[in-house]
Amino acid sequence: MQQQGKLKTCAPLERNMYMTGLFGQNIIFNILSAFANYYMQSVLLIPSAIIGVILVIAQVWDAFNDPMMGTIVDKTRSKWGKCRPYLLFVPIINGVITVLCFVGIGRNYDVSQGFTGMNVAVVVFAAFIYIVWGMTYTAGDIPLWGISALMTEDEKDRRKLQAAARIAAGIGSGVAVLAFQPVALSVGGVLRTTLNMGSAQAEKLGFILVATAFTILGAGTFQLAGVFAREKIKPSDKTNSLGENFKMIWNNKPFRKVLLSGTLAGPRNLTMIVALSMVTFYFSGKDGAVAMMYLALIGGGLFIGMFGATALTPKLLEKHSKKTLYNMSNLVEILPDLAIFGLYLISVAINKPAGLTAIYLLVPTILLFFIKGACLGLYSAVQTTMIADCVDYEDYTNHLRPDGVFFSGQTFMVKIGNGISSLLYAGLCAFVGFSDVNIDLFNKFIAAGGVPREAMTIGAETLRAGAETFALTGGQVRGFFTMMFFAVSVLPAIGSVLALIPTRNYELTPEKLEEILGELQQRRRVAGETEE
């Protein structure tokens, strides 16, 4: 352990293994994002409206489960601390359930039968296992972020640790988002040709095999955080009941504003929810290699922007207040979001098969996603430090450190945001008819050699591929893709506008934070001398 004066800080090995744990945890999280928003809809063929209901119920329950888990964490007292015990045991449990999500009950939803018989079993199991996954994920996620406020007493050290943690989490997300689905599609293609399997069966088996491999990597690295991380700040003697914690959350004005802002920003989550479907259908036509190329170009631009902004956050915080950076990240993101949809509309007006893959439209699209990613990276990094400040504020005012409960607010915001986004997306899919029967036809059109993006140019004509005809028109396909681009751009822009409202008058100024940290450090020194 290193010392900076009398302040306990984080050793390099401990920091690096903590970051590795976040890398692994975010691989698992983004695997399940693919399950919830692509696999259930486009592989299992569960109707979009039913998926919307499943995801809203699961996300809302899981969100309100977060403060419960936060309360449990804050009440935990063990030889390992209050957060670390969960990091030692949860990763393997969550990993097993992750694989079960993809395995399901062994069959897909039969679009010709409606919501009866075995189709009910497919839906019920998918809903059950997804809800159970969310609960086990929460049991690891809250202590994983909560321990970041306990691993060092020094404010600058903590800012660097949390910024590095965000980068590690982003890299894990990037690995899963950029590679998981393309690899699964590629494996499915190999299975289809080598084993002479049907395209739907091969695609499903490809996802199961690749999900298992990615989960082993994710759970194994996630486990390292529990093995190596250490808690330097002693838990408060006082603990709250669940009811008292809800009251505390509301009474802590800075935290209440961060929580409301993050929840109102929910539509921004549509970017990640819809991106895989957008790339898989519009840019690549389910070709794994092509999907990986476009994910590397567009998703790579997004993630490079995120990493760059996150890495710069500690330096930016030396010159600007957290409130300024947080609000600017929301305000600036509105511009690239609206511009992305504008470029898509230009491609539709030109009405050429290349669409946004034309180099003169693709390059600015990548640049806009880069700017969008930078805004998201700055937003996430600053939000994490703001939550840690709110924990210090509660300790300062009420002599209680609710690390678990307040960092449960971070996952609460993500899950409520995902619930809102999933409901919006399900409604949009139902509105344009992008659901069970039509997706099945769309998949068969692609399997027969059709190119969905090129089908947009034929207007009211029925889709054809080779000798086969499919009961979809080019106009319907254009509606599908317009819906997707609207969901990844215009709706996130609305979320950014809404996120600005609660934090206009955020109380924790740099001067106030300096006063709070000085007082807390003095208390800890006095408490240490008393114990000696």
Residues 183-201: pLDDT tens digits?
999 999 999 999 988 888 9
Task: Return the minimum-mean-pLDDT range out of 83-92, 125-134, 162-171.
Answer: 162-171
The CB density around residue 157, as the number of other CB atoms within 10 Å, is 18
- What 3-state class would DSSP assign to 36? helix
Q: Are 402 and 71 in contact, with CB atoms under 8 Å apart?
A: no
Q: Is 0.85 surpassed by the pTM of this model? A: no
Comparing C-alpha atoms, which of 412, 452, 141, 73 is closest to residue 285?
452
Distance CA 152, CA 159 (A): 10
Assess whether pLDDT exceeds 50 at residue 148: yes
What local confidence, expressed as pLDDT, does residue 528 receive?
63
Helix (H) or strand (E) holding 273, with range, is helix 270-277
Q: How far apart are CA 190 and CA 188, in angstroms?
A: 5
How far apart CA 393 and CA 29 sit, in angstroms, is: 30
Are the C-beta atoms of residues 108 and 44 closer than 8 Å to each other? yes
Cα gap 396→402, rounded to integer Å: 12
Task: Dump pLDDT digits (tens) for 421-477.
Answer: 888 898 999 999 999 899 999 999 998 999 999 999 998 999 999 889 999 999 999
Of the candidates 385, 391, 296, 278, which has an alpha carbon nearest to the alpha carbon of residue 341?
278
Q: Which CATH class is domain 3-246+257-512?
A: mainly alpha
Report how far residue 408's alpha carbon sits from residue 464's, in angstroms, rounded to the nearest whole number: 50
Rounded to whole angstroms, how far apart are CA atoms 128 and 265? 27
Mean pLDDT of 270-290: 88
Instruction: List the domain boundaries for the chain.
Output: 3-246+257-512
Give the 3-state secondary structure of residue 464. Answer: strand
Which letter, b or e, does each residue of 458-477 get, where b requires 16 or more Cβ atoms within 10 Å of its Cβ? beeeebebeeeebebbbebb
